[in-house]
Structure 1
Amino acid sequence: MTTARAVPTGAVPTRDAAPTRDAAPAAPGPVPSDGPLVLSLPGRTLLLVAGLPGAGKSTLLAALDAPAGTRVLDSGAARAALAARLPAGTPYPAYRWLTHLAHRASVVGAVLGRAETVVVHLPATAPRVRGAVRRLARLGRRTPHLLWLDTPPEQALDGQRARGRVVRARPFSVHARRAERTVTALRAGAETGWASVRCTDRSGARRGLALAK
């Protein structure tokens, strides 16, 4: 878990308040041609950054510009914290389940906490997971927003190899099928319950993300 740094004054524009949680999400926006993707998240909000493992979620969040005090929950941070406490050389599969548990517990704590904006890193390729995130947002009196990384499976696999951690073939195939259905739903406007929905890809992830109130 990390805290994002402040955005320099005037770095990103502001907009009027976001729609209520029952409003239909806007159509996924285009990927910017240059510079970071800019999102306006006024009020008490939750941003879910989702997509295939290796899609570029951690890359996107590594260069995040956001208002001071924004809480960022990245599963990689949970994994690193656990690895530091375990004997050197402990294989990740031995504590994968504990990493997932610790990450989700941190997400719940942050969403119910006092930070105005919480950014959550999860694959969330399954509709039930995205639904759980929306319910948690409502429980924490937050407006939920979705940022989906639309990355082809072969590119996501390249990203996994680059980070040195590859998801097993069968679970990844499940993720890939779910991600394809998710993209279809997003393009059709059938992914409801979000105040806003935006999409980007791996090249967009490398340009980073800027949040503003």
Structure 2
Amino acid sequence: MGTSKGTAEAPGGQGCEERPRGVVDLRGVAGAAFTVRYPSDAVVVVSGLPGAGKSTLLRRWAGAGAAPTVDPRAVHEACEAVMPARLPYAVYRPWARLEHFRLLRASVRRGGPLLVHDCGSRAWMRRWLAREAAGQGRRLHLVLLDVGAATALDGQRARGRHASARAFARHRRGLDRLLAAFTRHVRSGGPMPTPEAASVLLLDAVSRSRAAAVRFGTAG
């Protein structure tokens, strides 16, 4: 798998379009807004630290009805709505996580394009999703937000929701290792850090804001 930077002009005067293949590193790349295009049945996982802007990016991409989205926060809120207010989330967290996995598996098996919100620090989760998708002849694609811990913490404050310091540190360690592996791959080549993914799109705070939309299938 190769590594590339930048976007290409889409056919038919549709503006800039990125079709990720291998590792596409857009960190530090300024420019105009662009559309990301994936195969019609792609499972696209958007990952990054809590507060990195995953939900914001997914809302922007899903707003035009490009694909359904699976977000663990939605399951959390649904479980919270039917539980007594006095009951801490920690008590029913295992049930909420089980419900999230059930929804995610059902959504993948339903077919068609899918957007998935995930922290990205758990390799087993990517491998499980990749196997579920491969069972239908589909591929997993990864979008990884590299915005730094300070920006992610600012994002948490802005949204009024905070991951615990312990959870944030755990995710940060896992993502730091993954991003370091991708940086080495971009600079020197070598094995793909996430062989389960057909493509990886690396975005920072600047290029994240440029990723205006997502499309699935060939351009019309």
Determine if the alignment matches structure 1 residue 161 to structure 2 residue 164: no
Could you say what secondary structure the match of 2:23 adopts? Answer: coil
Further displaced range: 82-91 or 39-48: 82-91
Assess if the C-alpha contact under 8 Å between 1:44 and 1:141 holds in 2.
no
The two structures, once aligned, show a CA RMSD in angstroms of 2.9
Counterparts of 1:170 and 1:207, CA distance in 2? 31
Residue by residue, what CA displacement relative to the aligned partner does 1:23-59 show, whole Å, maximum 9, x if unpaired?
Answer: xx23323455343x52111232100111112211011
Determine if the alignment matches structure 1 residue 76 to structure 2 residue 79: no
Which residue of 2 is the match for residue 5 of structure 1?
A: none
Residue by residue, what CA displacement relative to the aligned partner does 1:50-82 show, whole Å, maximum 9, x if unpaired?
Answer: 111221101111212577462210112112222
Q: 1:132 to 1:156 in 2, by over 3 A?
A: same
Which residue of 1 is the match for residue 201 of structure 2?
A: 198
Residue by residue, what CA displacement relative to the aligned partner does 1:60-109 show, whole Å, maximum 9, x if unpaired?
Answer: 11212577462210112112222222234644333333332222211111
Q: 1:95 to 1:206 in 2, by over 3 A?
A: farther
Counterparts of 1:182 and 1:62, CA distance in 2? 25
Percentage of pairs with the same residue? 31
Which residue of 1 is the match for residue 5 of structure 2?
A: none
Determine if the alignment matches structure 1 residue 210 to structure 2 residue 195: no
Which residue of 1 is the match for residue 61 of structure 2?
A: 64
Letter aligned with residue 168 of structure 2: F
Counterparts of 1:51 and 1:15, CA distance in 2? 20
Letter aligned with residue 112 of structure 1: R
Gaps of 5+ in 2: 1-12, 186-191
Letter aligned with residue 99 of structure 1: A
Counterparts of 1:164 and 1:58, CA distance in 2? 13
Give the greater-gyration-radius structure (CA).
2
Assess if the C-alpha contact under 8 Å between 2:68 and 2:113 holds in 1.
yes
Gaps of 5+ in 1: 1-9, 20-24
Which residue of 2 is the match for residue 143 of structure 1?
A: 139
Could you say what secondary structure the match of 2:197 adopts? Answer: coil
> What is the TM-score when the length of structure 2 is the normalising length?
0.75
